[in-house]
Amino acid sequence: MTGSIAAAVRELASAEVVAFAGVGLAARILPVTEAYRAVEATLPEGADDARPHIAWLLANGSPAGKAYAATLLATFDPDAARAAWGSLSHEAVEVTTFHGCIMDRTTLGQYATRQLTVA
């Protein structure tokens, strides 16, 4: 299982978009969405195996990868997720998000702040 988590996290590390479902009119599932779902499917039961990979992703991933890492943390450690979102809330780098067929660009900091208000 750890090998598949590592492969999925490598995919997430270079993510250029945040998309948790299908995108566009065809609702196409992106490779990063599949990778996110692969890690998410191991949680919370596999949290001990996944945590070091998620921590690495949070520290080393692309802006979108960091957003995925914080979101994954929320599935098994809400306090760590809040801390992650808090640390990301000052990031000025832009990230692209998809909600269905709607694409948006925002800063990682703004995205993180929205997650903190929802949590």
Calpha distance 21→94 (Å, rounded): 20
Q: Domain count of the chain?
A: 1
Helix (H) or strand (E) holding 15, with range, is none
pTM of this prediction?
0.95
pLDDT of residue 59: 98
| Rounded-to-integer distance, Cα 33 and Cα 80, Å | 22
- Each of the 119 residues of the chain gets a pLDDT tens digit; together they read 468 999 999 999 999 999 999 998 888 999 999 999 999 999 999 999 999 999 999 999 999 999 999 999 999 999 999 999 999 999 999 999 998 889 999 999 999 999 999 85
The token pair at 93 is 């780098």
Structural domain range at position 20: 2-118
